Chain A
Amino acid sequence: MASSRTLNLTALGFLFAVIVIVFWQVETDFKEQGIASGGPYDDASLYPRAIAIFIGVLLVFQLVIESIRGRTTTLTEVIQASDLGRAGMMLAVFAVYLMVLTTIGYHLATAPMICAIMWICGMRNLPKLAISSVAIATSFAFVFEAFLNVVLPLGIWNIFIPW
C-alpha cells in the first residue's frame, strides 16, 4: 500500500498543480480581463500570486524535509487493502448517488445508497438492510421537507411526498 512518503509527495504534487493553475490563469484569463497589472485596486492577481509564491517557497522547504527524511525513514504505516477498499467503495457509491440524485430524485436514489453503504460496512441481514435504509431516508426527508421547507431533488419524474 501507499507509504507515508508517497502520500506526502502526492499532496505536494497537488499543491504544485494549484500553483501552476494560479500562474496559468494570471498569464491568460487575468491578462485578457486586464486585471493582472496596475495598482492595488485594479491588480486582482497581486494577492493570489503572492500566496502562490509563498506556497512555492514552502513546497521547496517541504521537499527538502522529505528528502532528508527519505534517507532515514525505513518504517511506514501500512493500511490493509480491504480497509482501504471499503472507504473507496463508499466514496464511489456516494459519487454515483450525487450523479443520479437530480435525475431520479431523492426518494428513489437515497434508500439504495444507504443500503449499499451498509452492505459495504458488512451488514448482510437483508430485511434489516431494507427497513433501516428506507427508514433513514424517509426520516431525513420528513425533517427537511416538513420542518425546514427544503425542496429535495424531485428528479425527472417529480417524485415528492406530501407530508
Chain B
Amino acid sequence: MSCCRSASGTSLSPGRCAVILDFLSAGLDVFLSPLALGFTFVGIIVGLVVGAMPGLGPLMGIILLLPVAIGLPPVAAMGFLIAIFVGGSCGGSISAILLRIPGTPLAAATLYDGYPLAQKGRASDAIGIAITSSAIGGLIGGVVLVFCAPILASLAANFAPPEYTMLAIMGLFAIVVISGGSIIKGLLAGSFGLLISTVGTDSFSTGLRFTFGSHNLLNGFHIVAVVVGLFAISEMAAQMMKRDLLKIPDVKVARPGLHTISLTLRHYVNLIRSSAIGTFFGAIPGAGGVISSFTSYAVAKAAAKPGEEYGEGAEGGVVATESANNSTVGGTLVPTLSLGIPGDASSAMLLGALLILGFIPGPAMFENNPDVVGGIFMVYLASNVFLLFAGILATPIFVYVLRIPKVYLIPSILLLCSIGTFALQASVFDLQVMLAFGLIGILFRAADYPLAPVVIGMILGPILEANLRRSLLISREGYWIFLDRPVSATLVAVNVLLLVAMAYLTIKRIRGTTKGDLEKATSPEE
C-alpha cells in the first residue's frame, strides 16, 4: 500500500480521508482478534491499577509488563501497552480523589477539585467524571492521532539522513528543555543514554565497541533490562525508605454510575478545549501530561462561569485536568509513530517495544506495515472506549487495590522485574544488567538527575548515530550537508534556538538558586 505517496498533500482532501480509512480498515482486520481485544482490555485494567497506586503510574506499568508484551503478536502487544498507558494516565485520579495523593504526577492537578468533591460526599461522582473525561479526552486525542500521524509521516517520507539526525537531536533537546529541573543534568542523563546505546557491535564497521571481551555484550544492553533497572529497582529502593510500608490506607469504596457520563457532557466546551490543549502539548516532545493538565486547568479556571468555584470542588476542574492528560497520550503518539521521535518516557518505551517487535517507527512503517499502524490506531481508540466502561464499573476493585500495603507490593514488583527481564532472553546477564542499572538509577535519583532522558537517549542513540554517519557518507562537504538542505537547515536553527533556551534557563536557574539559597539560609522559618 503506497499510502504515504498516494496522497502527498497535507490538507484533509478526499484522497487523504481515503488513506486514513485504508489504515483503519487494514488495522481493523488485525485488531478484531480475541488476543488483541483481550489484551487491550486487560491493559486498561492493569493501567488503572498501576495508575491508582502511588509511586507506580503508566510508565512503570509499561516497563514492568513490556517483557510479557513482546511475546505477543504486534498489535496485541501494542494494544496491551497502549492500554496500560491510557489506563495509567487516568488511574492516578482515583487516589488523588480518595486519598489526596495523586497516583501519578499526571493527576496532581486533579487534586484541586477532585479531593474537595470527595470531601463533599461526591467521591463517586468525582471518579466517574474523571474517568469519563479521560476517555472522551483520549478519544479526541485519538481522532487527532488518526488524522495527523499519516500527514506527518507523508511529510517525513521526504526526509533524508540529515533531517533525521537533526530530528533526533531535537527530540532529545526538547525533552531536556521542557521536562524541568536542571538542564545540564538532563543533558548529561540524555548523553549517558546515547553512550549506552553504542555498546555492542557497530552496524557500519562491524567492530566491537565497549564489549570488554564479553559475548553477552555483542548486541549491547537489552533496553528492557536497562529501563527496568533504572526505573523500577530505583523506585522500589525509594519506596523502601518510606515509613508507611505496613500501613493499610483507609479508603472508602466509591461506586460511580453511568450517570456521570451525562454529568461530564454538561461541560462539553471545557472538555473539547482541554482535550485540544492536551493533544497539542502531547505532540510536542517533552511537554507531556503534567504541563497539559495544569495548563488546561488554568485555562478552564480563567474561563469559568460565575458560581463555578475552582479549587473548592468544581466538576469543571476535574474535567479539564483529566481530559487534558489523557488526550496527551494521543498527541504524544503522533511524533512517536510518524517520526520515530518519542514525546515522553512512556512513548519512548512504546517506541522501544515497536523496535523489539521488529518495526521501525517512521514513514517507512506507514508505507510497509499499514496493518500495524492501523491496528495501533484501533487499539488506542478502543482502549479509551474500554476505559469508559471498565473504569466506571470496576472502580470498587481499584479502590480495593489501594488498600494493599506496600509490604506486599514491593517484593511482588521486584519479582515481576526479575522474571520479566529473565524471560526476555533466558539470560542471567540481563538480570545483572538490571541490578547494575538499578544502582545507577538510585544514584541519579539521589543526585536529582532525570531518568527519562536516559531512556530517550538510548532509544534515539542508534537513530542519531546511523543517520549522522549516513549523512557524512553521502556528503561531499562534510558537516555542511546539514545546512545545505532547507528542512535540515531549519531543524538546525530550531536546535540552536533550543540550545540558546537551555543556556538562558541554566543561567537563570543558577542566579535564582544562589539568591534563593541565601534567602533560605537567612529565613527564620528555615
Please give the residue numbers on chain A whose beta carbons come within 8 Å of chain B beta carbons, in ascending order: 2, 4, 7-8, 10-11, 14-15, 18, 21-22, 25, 29-30, 33-35, 39-44, 46-48, 51-52, 54-55, 58-59, 61-62, 65, 68-69, 72-75, 79, 83-84, 86-87, 90-91, 94-95, 97-98, 101-102, 106, 110, 113-114, 117-118, 120-123, 132-133, 136-137, 140, 144, 148, 150-153
Contact = CB atoms under 8 A, between A and B. Distances in A.
B468 A47 contact: yes
Interface in B350-403: none
A15 B411 contact: no
Given A35-B207, A41-B205, A140-B415, A83 B443 contact: no
A58 to B, nearest CB: 5
Contacts of A101: 418, 422, 428, 431
B207 to A, nearest CB: 3
Given A10-B443, A87-B442, 9 more contacts: A14-B440, A42-B204, A47-B465, A47-B469, A83-B241, A91-B439, A91-B442, A117-B411, A150-B419
Nearest to A95: B435
Given A41-B473, A73-B517, A140 B419 contact: yes
Contacts of A10: 443, 447
Given A58-B184, A83-B241, A121-B410, A48 B195 contact: yes
Interface in B421-446: 422-423, 426, 428, 431-432, 435, 438-440, 442-444, 446
Given A44-B202, A91-B237, A33 B411 contact: no
Nearest to B475: A40
Main secondary structure of the interface of B (DSSP, over half): helix
Interface residues of B, number: 73
Contacts of A55: 188, 191-192, 195
A46 B469 contact: yes
A136 to B, nearest CB: 6
- 10 pairs of A and B residues whose beta carbons are closest in the complex: A35-B207, A11-B447, A40-B472, A44-B202, A87-B240, A114-B411, A83-B241, A121-B245, A121-B407, A40-B469
A86 B520 CA distance: 31
Nearest to A34: B207
Contacts of B241: 79, 83-84, 86-87
A155 to B, nearest CB: 12
Contacts, number: 199
A122 B240 CA distance: 10
Contacts of B418: 97-98, 101
5 contacts: A40-B472, A48-B209, A79-B241, A91-B435, A137-B415
A99 to B, nearest CB: 9
Instruction: Count chain B CB atoms within 10 A of each CB in A69, A83, A94, A148 and give the residue with the most.
Output: A94
B521 A121 contact: no
A148 B514 contact: no
A74 B469 contact: no
A74 B520 CA distance: 9
A147 B86 CA distance: 25
A31 B345 CA distance: 36
B16 interface: no
Contacts of B526: 75
B308 interface: no
B236 interface: yes
Contacts of B520: 75
B268 to A, nearest CB: 42
